[in-house]
Amino acid sequence: MGAARCVGRVGGLAVALGVGVAVFSGPGAAWADSTGDEASGGGTPMGRAGASTAASSGAGAAAPNRSLRGGAVRAARSQAPSTSDGASPTGAPSSRASVARIPSVSTSSTDRQAAVSVTAPAAEPESLASAVATPEVSPPSISAQSAPPASAAAPEPAAAPAGAVSAVLSAADSGTTDGAGTDPLLPAASSLAWALAAVARRDTMAAASVAAPAAQVTVGEQQTNNGVTADPTVEFVDGIIQGELNATSASGSTLTYTAEEGSNGGKLDIGTVPIPGGTDPQSFTILPYANWLDSGGAKGVETFNVRITEETGFTQFVTSIPLVGLLAEPIIGLLQRTPFVSTLLAPLIGGSLLATIDVDVSALAPGDTPVAFTYDVTSFDGTQISTNFFPAAGIQAGETAPTVLNGPGLGSPGETDPYNLAGTFGSVPGVAVIREEGYNIVTWDPRGEFASGGVLQLDNPFFEGRDTSAIVSWAADNPLVELNAPDDPAVGMIGGSYGGGIQMVTAATDPRIDAIVPNGNWYSLMDALYPSEVFKSAWSVLLLLDLVEAGARINNQIYEGVFTGLLGGFLTDTAQAVITSSGPTSLLNQLQAPTLLIQGTVDALFPLDQSVLNAETIAANPWGTPLKLGWFCGGHGACTTGTGTTLLAQQNQLFADTLAWLDTYVAGTGSGADAVPVFQWWDQNVVRYTSDLLPFEPGFNQATPYTATSDGGTLGIFPIIGGSGPGSNVAFPLNLIFPTEAGNSISVDLTPGTGEQIVGAPQLSFTYSGLGTSNAVYAQFIDNATGAIVGNNVTAVPVTLDGRERTVSVPLNDIAYTVGAGDSLTLQITDWSSIFFNAGIGVVDISNVQIDLPLRAIPTTT
């Protein structure tokens, strides 16, 4: 075991802070290609600060030909398997006044559901049997699932590699994918990506119909320096300003590209324009800063810069040397920018050119022509919130469309790539999908992050919640935004993680939000980060590192909480107050916006119980809020059990359900939300099941659970040695959040019958006595068929080691597990977990162990 894993709390923090930048900047690697080749790869879009950037793998576009609008997305999603599920609807769609809509943009929710093979269920008799889940695959053939028809243009999607989560917090939360198969939820060659890429071909764009803005191309002067030449062109396609660097290297060296800030504060992404089979590494998309909104004047010219640099064999060798490379890279960059010296050393270190791109917005998008742009919205306290607006695909001046707000994950900027297909976790539809379905979309940098001002307060309703309300008011003044009433736009919200939490906070305090689809967020940060007063150290440090690496301005009390939690294993009263104030909790008693909750089954940061608590609170409020719940294989973790086919089918279903929810409650078109199951989940094999009951409602589970017991034993408590984690397939410090089978544990064998389903929270109880400084032991389930930790989750079980005999009974983290032929589980009670990083020592004698597994009340078919 490496020395880095054996450090104590102080050493662990020092090491983590030392490597944090390298870990979290990984997805932002610059594009590299060989001259004359069309390379493809991935990365993250940049904010206003210049950083090495690369193209997102969201290969797709909203076609300017309005006859193509919606068709590509629906055709791609129609490749998903049939998922008729017998779910019953809850709540009725709200009524809407008749409003102007985009011609040829609106498509009924029912049509969209049908397009993704969601079949409306037939009426079933009111009985217990009809109120429980019906598996799409019978238990004996649980691993079999029909594959979607193969597209002639697309290769078979490859399975995501196990443990490939180098971008768990950065790329996954920012809604980017890297096109290299490292996103556990978005297969690199999904039919959705390929279909949209085909629509987005440059020749298709150039052949736009007269009903949409025709592509206008402007050509700048050729620019050359030390063997690097660029001849940028800029064009305007269906509301998006984009272009091509047209760069070459005289020596044939590999080129890299780094975007710099626009002269007025606009935002530029490198490598985002899709081409057949991927993205164009020399392309760029631009969001000009809408200074015309400040002055009320005409759109003007904005200048952007891209640093184009050669990579020679020498620079590649030097920068690849551990530690030396970290020092050499900025020195080489400085030399490449220094007059005379850069020319003298160019054959060795490569040439460099700062390419200038002049964007004449007034010429590209004259008058009221809809155009995507960025703008600083003034919040309640004067804080400027950097906000990005993308018009619905095909929309014309004088038309309106409903609007969707999409908040980013923590430590990530608001999405700026108009062709991005998948947002957070790969389960949130990206900008391209939302635009294509007839919605304007708004993204933003949260308070205290990237181009926005202020201090980050963790989705506090008094700060970030009010920021979002200010964005809603600002959007209501946009002539492209459909209104329900003055200052009341037809608006819904999507997003995951931090972008899921802000939905609940905003919708519970601002009645103008018509519907929300929060994904992978929390009910209580206290409960999620400090369960049973045991600090979730690894996750808290990674979240802090993510913010520090992003240059966020953070409430100092958040730092205090992380440091006391890491060094002492406790949170001060002040830190607890700050964390408690962030997020929905009691605000959900006021939530009236129809809510589709989505949570990840392998999410160790915000486990499934957070969605159950959210659902229970919303269901109990007095407003009769329409509510449905879904659990998918994903979240803050890696879904290592799915194939390209099963993960694609899951993604398509989640996208279809999200769009149906928005169509019904935001756009007011049809009743597609009725076909969304009351509760749906994907088990450990990524097989989908549905139910007419929520998992906490009477009748969902059998009255009698599966019960197993053990005499227990004596457990020595030592940090690290013999405990659960860190994982071996991921680099430090990300490996800390992945549990493993423990070598030092008390085990209980569990053998439920084949076909049984465990969907909910097992209950663990035991008697113990012991001595020591540890305040917890840890419980986890091993899937004996795979050796994986079920749900990627460990539950902290609080203990008091004062020599007295005590009894503890706690619910463990919820799981979604179907017992196949030969399957069995092992409960492990172990002394240490890398997720919690408890430094306590001691010894504990455990006896009378009992574990109760909730079993689904599956109907008997006749």
Q: What is the pLDDT of residues 5-53, one digit of tens each?
A: 332 332 332 323 232 322 222 323 233 333 333 332 333 333 333 333 3
Instruction: Rank 130-134, 216-220, 416-420 by mean pLDDT and report only the highest.
Output: 416-420
Partnered with residue 311 across adjacent β-strands are: 254
User: What local confidence, expressed as pLDDT, does residue 147 receive?
Assistant: 33
Question: From start to end of 40-97, where are the E strands?
Answer: 51-52
User: What local confidence, expressed as pLDDT, does residue 216 receive?
Assistant: 56
In the predicted model, what is the mean pLDDT of residues 597-619? 98
- Give the least confident one: 207-216, 578-587, 605-614: 207-216
User: What local confidence, expressed as pLDDT, does residue 398 receive?
Assistant: 97
Residue scoring higher pLDDT (835 or 60) = 835
In the predicted model, what is the mean pLDDT of residues 242-260? 95
If pLDDT is split at 50, 70 and 90, which confidence band does 196 have? very low
Residue scoring higher pLDDT (174 or 383) = 383
pLDDT digits (tens, 9 = 90+) for 701-743: 999 999 999 999 999 999 988 999 999 888 899 999 999 999 9
In the predicted model, what is the mean pLDDT of residues 206-215? 35
- Give the least confident one: 140-154, 497-511, 586-600, 816-830: 140-154
User: What local confidence, expressed as pLDDT, does residue 839 receive?
Assistant: 86
Mean pLDDT of the chain: 79
Percent of the chain whose pLDDT exceeds 70: 74
pLDDT digits (tens, 9 = 90+) for 655-690: 999 999 999 999 999 899 999 999 999 999 999 999
In the predicted model, what is the mean pLDDT of residues 487-498? 98
Residue 197 in this model has a pLDDT that exceeds 90: no
Question: From start to end of 637-762, where are the E strands?
Answer: 679-682, 688-691, 706-710, 713-717, 745-750, 757-760
The whole-angstrom separation of Cα 231 and Cα 413 is 29
User: What local confidence, expressed as pLDDT, does residue 276 receive?
Assistant: 85
User: What local confidence, expressed as pLDDT, does residue 326 receive?
Assistant: 86
User: What local confidence, expressed as pLDDT, does residue 219 receive?
Assistant: 61
Domain architecture of the chain: domains with CATH:
3-62+198-364 (no CATH), 706-853 (2.60.120.260)
Q: Considering only CA atoms, give the Rg of the chain.
A: 27
Cβ 577 vs Cβ 612: under 8 Å:
no
SS (H, E, C) 293-357: HHHCCCCCEEEEEEEEEEECHHHHHHHHCCCHHHHHHHHHHHHHHCCCHHHHHHHHHCCEEEEEE
Cβ 444 vs Cβ 387: under 8 Å:
yes
Of 347, 365, 389, 379, give the one whose Cα is nearest residue 446. Answer: 379
Provide the token pair at 783. Answer: 């899937």
Contact partners, residue 241, CB within 8 Å, separation at least 6: 234, 235, 285, 286, 287, 288, 359, 361, 364, 365, 371, 372
Partnered with residue 403 across adjacent β-strands are: 440, 491
User: What local confidence, expressed as pLDDT, does residue 217 receive?
Assistant: 62
User: What local confidence, expressed as pLDDT, does residue 859 receive?
Assistant: 64
Residue 793 in this model has a pLDDT that exceeds 90: yes
Amino acid identity of 405?
A: L
DSSP 169: T
pLDDT digits (tens, 9 = 90+) for 546-592: 999 999 999 988 888 888 888 888 888 888 988 888 889 889 999 99
Contact partners, residue 360, CB within 8 Å, separation at least 6: 218, 300, 301
Q: CA triplet 172, 489, 390: central angle to 5 degrees?
A: 45
The whole-angstrom separation of Cα 492 and Cα 659 is 11
The whole-angstrom separation of Cα 210 and Cα 781 is 60
User: What local confidence, expressed as pLDDT, does residue 114 receive?
Assistant: 35
SS3 374: strand
pLDDT digits (tens, 9 = 90+) for 746-760: 999 999 999 999 999
In the predicted model, what is the mean pLDDT of residues 293-319? 91
Residue 102 in this model has a pLDDT that exceeds 60: no
Contact partners, residue 123, CB within 8 Å, separation at least 6: none
User: What local confidence, expressed as pLDDT, does residue 716 receive?
Assistant: 96
Taking the model in full, what pTM does it have?
0.79
